[in-house]
Structure 1
Amino acid sequence: MPAAVITGASAGLGRALAAALVRREWTVLGTGRGEAALRAAADELGFTAVPGDVTDPVHRAALAEAAGPRLDLLVNNASTLGVSPLPPLGDYPDDELQAVFRTNVFAPLGLARLLLPALTAARGTLVSVSSDAAVEPYEGWGAYGSAKAALDHATAVLGVENSALAVYAVDPGDLRTAMHQLAFPGEDISDRPLPETAVPAFLRLLDERPPSGRYRAAELLEAVRP
């Protein structure tokens, strides 16, 4: 039975991916900072909850230990938007800017580095959830976007350095999530698609294992629509 670690598994895209893999009879270890929400999701969907904050090296080590010597998939999904409403980059509070990079760059890179031996043993797949803000300069999105750009590049380097693995940065598109709502406080974002709509794009990567690189879910979904 293949095994996966998914960060940010209690809600949004992480939860949707965990649900899809469980339906495929994968063993899923899901982590997240909100213990109650994570355990509720794990009980409902059937994955193993490992609560904690991925910015904590001790928690990352616990995840690596729980994953064991072989791992088929790591999805670095957990991230933070930062300050809401979104301030200009020049006015961004230093401590909040550092927190964005800790969560969106250093934590996923740290976890990936710890799990590389287990992923390599299984010739597995590493996925970093990206954003169009990583490549497009949107006003107010400087902290989040630059952090995702850094994660994209780190992910690309891991792909070049680890040829046995499939390594992807994936832009899922605008989704109806709590984090996306924070970017637009007081606005109605119900026109955005639910996270579940992006899941087939990720499954296509797992099924077809194209070359390592950066992919957009919208483009991957075009090939799976009837």
Structure 2
Amino acid sequence: MATHLITGAGSGIGASVARRLLERGDDLLLLARDAGRAKELAALHPGARTLVGDLGNPDRLSWAFGQQTMPDRLDSLLHVAGVVELGPIGELTPKAWHFQLNTNLVAPAELTRLLLPQLRAARGHLLFVNSGAGLAAHAEWGAYAASKHGLKALADSLRHEERAHGVRVTSVYPGRTASPMQEKVHRQEGKEYDAARWIDPESVATTLLMALDLPRDAEVNDLTVRPGR
């Protein structure tokens, strides 16, 4: 039975992939920002275990993990959580930059650093759910795109550094996906939200499982997923 740690399992892509992994009998650890959220995740995904650590405050992750029982080995670490705050560069405050860079880039880097020994022990898999914004930046997406461009660089560097340890690294770049985050983006853009226009989170979850389940003689480095409508 494989053991996976997932961030962002409360909704959207993270919730879909967590459910699929549980249904097939895998062991799951779900990262929650606080004890209250941990209870919500445990109720949403019966059978999964929870781990508390706030991605918005990456400086505290090491301390938080030191107070909890950590797994001896991890078959995969799935970085799915993310936040977004749109706005023109000329109006974005340092708070908006830190909000996105901490959660979308610094926290995944720190979480990976803390869990690399367990991933190396299992010759495991690092999987980063990036974004189309990690490949191309557009007006009012500057801070979010910067965090996702940085996430691509993090994954690319790790792929070279961890190959000798047998750790595979995959970046997935979904286009707009039907989720609470996408609904927020539409509100910020002043547009009407229609979930039917965008990728179903289940479709992205299918691509993540494909990358995880690929035999050891190959790995998916980068995978772009776009709406088919």
TM-score range, shorter chain: 0.7 to 0.9
Asked if residue 69 in structure 1 is aligned to residue 72 in structure 2, the reply is yes
CA contact (8 A) 1:159 1:212 kept: no
One-letter amino acid of the structure 2 residue matched with residue 195 of structure 1: P
Aligned residues: 217
Residues 60 and 76 from structure 1, CA distance in 2 versus in 1: closer, same or farther, beyond 3 angstroms?
A: farther
| Residue among 180, 197, 202 paired with 1:178 | 180
Query: Which residue number corresponds to residue 224 of structure 1?
Result: none
CA contact (8 A) 1:130 1:172 kept: yes
Gaps of 5+ in 2: none
Is the partner of 2:172 in helix, strand or coil? strand
User: How do 1:1-226 and structure 2 match up within 5 A?
Assistant: 1-33=1-33, 36=36, 38-46=38-46, 47-54=48-55, 55-60=57-62, 62-63=64-65, 66-82=69-85, 86-163=86-163, 164-185=166-187, 187-190=192-195, 191-209=197-215, 210-211=218-219, 213-218=221-226
CA distance in 2, matches of 1:201, 1:63: 30
Gaps of 5+ in 1: 222-226
One-letter amino acid of the structure 1 residue matched with residue 110 of structure 2: G
CA distance in 2, matches of 1:36, 1:52: 12
Is the partner of 2:184 in helix, strand or coil? helix
Residues 123 and 213 from structure 1, CA distance in 2 versus in 1: closer, same or farther, beyond 3 angstroms?
A: same
CA shift, 1:36, in A, is: 4.5
Question: What's the TM-score, normalizing by structure 1?
Answer: 0.87
One-letter amino acid of the structure 1 residue matched with residue 51 of structure 2: V
Deviation track 1:134-193 (CA, whole Å, cap 9, x = no partner) reads 111211111101110001111110010001111011112211111111111052232223
Residues 155 and 61 from structure 1, CA distance in 2 versus in 1: closer, same or farther, beyond 3 angstroms?
A: farther
Is the partner of 2:90 in helix, strand or coil? helix
CA contact (8 A) 1:152 1:214 kept: no
Question: What's the TM-score, normalizing by structure 2?
Answer: 0.86
Which one is further off, 63-72 or 150-159?
63-72
CA contact (8 A) 2:52 2:65 kept: no
CA distance in 1, matches of 2:63, 2:23: 27
CA distance in 1, matches of 2:221, 2:104: 18
CA shift, 1:50, in A, is: 2.4
CA shift, 1:88, in A, is: 0.8
Residues 58 and 97 from structure 1, CA distance in 2 versus in 1: closer, same or farther, beyond 3 angstroms?
A: closer
CA distance in 2, matches of 1:68, 1:36: 22
CA contact (8 A) 2:58 2:110 kept: no
One-letter amino acid of the structure 1 residue matched with residue 186 of structure 2: F
CA shift, 1:4, in A, is: 0.6
CA distance in 2, matches of 1:63, 1:20: 26
Q: What percent identity do the matched residue pairs reach?
A: 29
CA contact (8 A) 2:14 2:80 kept: yes
CA contact (8 A) 2:32 2:52 kept: yes
